[in-house]
Structure 1
């Protein structure tokens, strides 16, 4: 297994009406312990340009997170 796959991987998700900037002070701590850290923008937050009034469902709001988790499922479950 590659070294990157052996590292702990933290996915930090901001709360509603915020963005990943909430985590920028925390991110260096796990990274200094050789952990991977991913910060994600949810719909209508951070660099995501969608207007909040155009986000009609929770699935739409969390689509980027769900896609990220699906694409990294073996790694995140430790089955890679």
Structure 2
């Protein structure tokens, strides 16, 4: 029972973290668009890299989340 509760808590934490990563990545993407067309600075490569890293990390956590959800359904 205790492990199920820990697994449920972990699932909720992963969901929140995924949402946070997607929001931060979208801010980086908007910043990239603004810097390319308004300010014309040289940080586009860095901003695109940060955006892709954030989305890749979110995708990794989505995969881990599905594993945890499968474990939870197996234990029930």
TM above 0.5:
no
Could you say which TM-score interval applies, normalised by the shorter chain?
0.3 to 0.5
Structure with greater proportional strand content: 1
Structure with greater proportional helix content: 2
Greater length-normalized contact order (CA 8 Å, ≥ 6 residues apart) = 2
TM-score normalized with structure 1 length: 0.34
TM-score normalized with structure 2 length: 0.35
